[in-house]
Structure 1
Amino acid sequence: MLTLLSPTKICKFLLIGLFVFFLPMVLSAQNIFPEKINICNTLNFCIDCGNPKATCDQFTLDYICDKINRKYILKDAYGSISFQVLVEPTGFSCVLSHTDVTNTPITVELIRYLNGNIWRPAIENGKPVFSSVVVVFRFAYGRISAQMQRVDLTELKPPGDPVIYNKKTVYANPSLKTYEFTTWTKYNSPLPDNVSRSCAIDKSDILWYASAKGITRFDGENFNAVNEFNSPFTSETAVSDITVDKDNNTWVYANNKMYRYNDAGWQIYDFKKFLASGVTRILHSRHGELLFTTKDGLVVLRKDKVVLLNKKRIPKLPSNNIYYAFDDSQKRLWIGTSKGTIMIDKEVITNFNTSDTPLKNVYISGAAEDEKGNLYFSLVDCNETAGDNDKEGIAVLKTNGRWLHYNDKNSGMPSNRVNDMLYDKNEHLLWIGTDQSGIVRFDMKDGWENYHNNNSAMPGHTIYQLVQDSKGVIYATTANGLLRLRKK
């Protein structure tokens, strides 16, 4: 909720509507934001096209912001509004659409200012053309600021069809109607980038969304940027990985450095001698350790004591190149390397390359455990090949020691490459994020369901990470935006 105090009244409005919309192929004129304004006199324009593209001076946008800052008290204002502005060949402008679903007075005022600007039109083949551009106004720290945001046309195109290798299973998806899908992108929200391979939920149910173009925090209603004003990072720092540990510390790996955030603020951890080759994953254990996967081994941090697990320390480790690690409720440590997987149970080490299990000659890339102690592992073939690989999929270790292996040939898995898994203790089922086929809902009693952009309100079919808050709400980072999956 954004509160704007004027000399005469208080205006409250939600900057970002919670909506899902799909965009057609961007080959012709279209309004890209949900709030349409039907006053412009053309149906023929391209989106952010031309060389050069349509633009106006930053001085002009700063002037608009100055007018708003002088008129309104923005102390408690936060969020953003995006406007799609049509720029005519003559340089005159007209707002086509925007993201403020409540159409508040400040939005009306911004539209008036934008419509009164003189712009430099886009040029194509030496001639000025009709083109639309995006301007984003952001509210933070008691002020409004603005900048143009260039549109990536590939991100506006539909994500394409999911790849379903499983041709035998008919997905009735009876539970689909019981969920509410909401999607945010950088075009309908302050999300820094549509692609995120890493996110985390802290104990206040704040989602930390990390991307190659910055970090933002989301409390379920509002986005708050993590930038140079409140952190060691800029608004466009490329973040490699992020997690929240057992003690509610947020750990961020960026700029080849490790950072920790808690109530005391930000702190840099100097692990250079252990992390010289760089960190690929930050993982937290249920027993309090932090696990950093590197090409030189697994770095374990516990109460400021650092230990490096590598082939020198553990000769049975197949490789120093660590991809994933997981400790289960029995304090067994599972380590996936580029050349296979091992499990350390006190002093006993099991190398699965010599076993007759689904883990033979594969490495684990993710893991989950249910309340009964059954373990679930996503698998990647050590000799990775293009296309579908039946050695991959999901391996399950039952509490009785029995192994199961699910792939798209013997189960309801739509495809075999899995990016992440989440065990839902509220519904007692497994959520699986696939690389090509969307999300899989695996209910051990009722079977398999598969949700993607062709059968649901999902933004796409590539799922990178799944997290869940204390209320059971699931967030998924994808190649096409941030997805929230909430029980109705």
Structure 2
Amino acid sequence: MKRSLILLSFAFLSSKIYSQNIFPVKLNNCKTERFCLDCGDVKAGYDEKEFQIINSRLNSSFNLKGVSGGIKLQVLVDSKGKACVLSHTDQSNNIITQKIIDELNNFKSWKPAITNGNVEEKTSITVTFLIKDNTIKGQVERVDMNAFKKSFDEPKKPEIFNKKYNYKNENLNNYKITVWNSKNSNLPNNMTDHIAIDRNELIWLTVDEGLVKFDGNTFINSEQNITDKGKFFGYYELESDNNNIKWVHGKDNIYSFNDKEWTKYDPKVIGIDGAYEIINNAKTGEVFFCSDEGLTIFKDGKWSNINKDKVNALPSNRVSFAKRDSKNRIWIGTFSGSIMIDENGKANSFENSDTVLKGKCITSMDEDEEGNLYFTLYEFNRPDKQKINNNEGIAIRYNDGTIKQFTTENSGLPFNHANCILYDKQEKVVWISTDRAGLVRFDLKGNWENYHNENSQIPTSYISSMKFDKNGNLYLATRQGLVKIERKQ
């Protein structure tokens, strides 16, 4: 399965680093399947002679007298020698930068990376262009992996795009915040991207290339033991179901663990070899697997699938998220739009509507006691490919059928890209995790609070995913360890 990641994502995997955008200006013209960062026994690069033609063409295109500076570009090189600029450092959107991007995208003499004699499917390299002495020159800048990992294990400054809202954070002192990291516990690595809480209240985390469970005191290595992991084995998704079975997407397979033994599922039998998301539907006992092959459903030991061949209204088989609500409706977000399949099996595409869900992919969802639904959104067809704070945010579908979108423009949301949303049944609020602005608390009455590493004990502004335990404590999987938020008595 090709893993297309729409969120900022890094995973350090053995001798390789698998990543997403590494520079602040992200471009969406590339097919961003999973790839390695400057990996290979033979690194990706280009034909030197042909590349000099790019330098010459750039120098003849601009009057560089008195101009100085530089730009770094992340270039994705595939196994056939084709490339695409994925991100860069120039937030001014200079005309020179645009010309460089066009040149690199159209360049035909890239050389793919090779590992153990095999060509890497996709590799990210950094190309730097410097303007000095009236001349521009580009070349590959190799990544220092040790320095990269070290720099990444530092919390980034929160980016608050909402400059109008005054965050008073009046409820922050009502919470006790506990952090477990590699310095104060035996957590093997601070990169905790995915989290699940099983029926025994054990916390399960994907950590770097590993899998651990946490009993409140000790982190215990719990990796699968039925596949030879070799040089690399990663865990990409994680969920626990009603029967206390743990489900993961490992390398090219779906696995399950019943606390005694692991099971690997043949892709030829179940129809998928991975998942963007695994979701347990507690009320129906279904486990949803969202993938490039549609929505795959596991229930009572049987596998079924929803795809475009069966549901014509499905915008794409590339399903990012899906969940069933209390009225037995399935809400599905794909990379080409979102749909709802009602309790009678009728599919309604929001691409044919005038609601705020048009042009959006639902990426997470929760529901309150009254049947109001809460969504995080991804704008899949952005008019400005370089814009960071896009028309996304969250949406609430009220039980009367109306839908309202909340963004930095009309609310206290600090940043419009959210990773996860959860409804808190005890406090009647929603919690929203972001990858730039930390954690958001919205009381549904117009009051917004924003907690991050500069105003709270939360150690980072990047929060990947969240789960509640049975006592209503909120756990955060972050890039700086595991975080527990509990209300003070």
Mark yes or no: TM-score above 0.5.
Answer: yes
> Contact (CA 8 Å) 2:458, 2:483: kept in 1 or not?
yes
Q: CA deviation at 1:446?
A: 5.9
Q: 1:422 to 1:386 in 2, by over 3 A?
A: farther
Structure 1 segments unaligned to the other structure (5+ residues): 1-149
- 2:176 counterpart of 1:191: no
> Contact (CA 8 Å) 2:276, 2:291: kept in 1 or not?
yes
Q: How does 1:61-80 map to 2 (within 5 A)?
A: none
Q: 1:470 to 1:234 in 2, by over 3 A?
A: farther
Find the partner of 1:163 among 159, 165, 174: 159
Find the aligned partners of 1:278 and 1:156 in 2 and give their Cα distance: 27
Q: CA deviation at 1:423?
A: 1.2
Q: 1:314 to 1:156 in 2, by over 3 A?
A: closer
Find the aligned partners of 2:377 and 2:223 in 1 and give their Cα distance: 36
> Contact (CA 8 Å) 2:249, 2:274: kept in 1 or not?
no
- State the partner residue of 2:310: 313
- 2:325 counterpart of 1:328: yes
Find the partner of 1:208 among 201, 204, 207: 204
Deviations 1:326-381 (A, max 9, x none): 11000100111111001000232111011111100111000010111100010001
**Equivalent position SS for 2:268:** coil
Q: CA deviation at 1:282?
A: 1.2
AA aligned to 1:369 is E
- State the partner residue of 2:350: 352
Q: CA deviation at 1:315?
A: 1.0
Q: 1:466 to 1:231 in 2, by over 3 A?
A: farther
Q: CA deviation at 1:449?
A: 0.5
**Equivalent position SS for 1:358:** coil
AA aligned to 1:203 is R
- State the partner residue of 1:470: 470
Deviations 1:418-467 (A, max 9, x none): 01111111212111001110000011136111000111111110111001
- State the partner residue of 1:304: 301
- State the partner residue of 1:485: 485
- 2:366 counterpart of 1:362: no
Task: Give TM-score, length-normalised by structure 1.
Answer: 0.65
Find the aligned partners of 1:224 and 1:237 in 2 and give their Cα distance: 18
**Equivalent position SS for 2:157:** coil
Q: How does 1:189-268 map to 2 (within 5 A)?
A: 189-227=185-223, 237-268=233-264
- State the partner residue of 2:377: 379
Q: 1:227 to 1:402 in 2, by over 3 A?
A: closer
- State the partner residue of 1:32: none
Aligned sequence identity (%):
37
- State the partner residue of 2:453: 453
Q: CA deviation at 1:272?
A: 3.1
- State the partner residue of 1:444: 444
> Contact (CA 8 Å) 2:286, 2:297: kept in 1 or not?
yes
Find the aligned partners of 2:213 and 2:233 in 1 and give their Cα distance: 14
Task: Give TM-score, length-normalised by structure 2.
Answer: 0.65
Structure 2 segments unaligned to the other structure (5+ residues): 1-145
**Equivalent position SS for 2:440:** strand
Find the aligned partners of 1:274 and 1:171 in 2 and give their Cα distance: 48
Find the aligned partners of 1:202 and 1:296 in 2 and give their Cα distance: 27
Root-mean-square deviation over aligned CA pairs? 2.1
Q: How many residues align?
A: 337
- State the partner residue of 2:409: 409
> Contact (CA 8 Å) 1:171, 1:450: kept in 2 or not?
yes
